[in-house]
Amino acid sequence: MADTIEMTRDGENLYLRIMACALCPLNSELCKSGVEAGCIVPGILLFSLRKTFEKNFWVSAKAVKFKKTDVGDCDWVFYVKLEPRR
């Protein structure tokens, strides 16, 4: 999907840097043709977190910041909360 994905964590914030994403040029073309396209990265991230921690935690995530640096390159910041299951 991408040449490089860097993930770092600071407290409850998860920083995600994507470089050379293969899906981004397709999204750009869809937007030019009038179709409202969206990035699937947040969905994949949330699904992965839920699958990883589903036995012990409720997982919620919210996009806090998005910055596009070039087609295929962007930076995301997510607020991620893990609540223990009882």
- pLDDT tens by residue, 31-75: 777 777 678 878 888 888 899 998 999 998 888 998 988 888 889
pLDDT at position 4 over 80? yes
Could you tell me the two tokens for 51?
A: 């699958």
DSSP 71: T
Number of domains in the chain: 1
Q: Are 23 and 38 in contact (CB under 8 A)?
A: no
pLDDT at position 8 over 90? yes
Count CA atoms closer than 13 A to 83's CA, side-chain side: 5
DSSP 23: S
Boundaries of domain holding 13: 2-84
pLDDT at position 17 over 80? yes
Which amino acid, 27? N
pLDDT at position 5 over 90? no
Q: For the whole model, what pTM was predicted?
A: 0.73
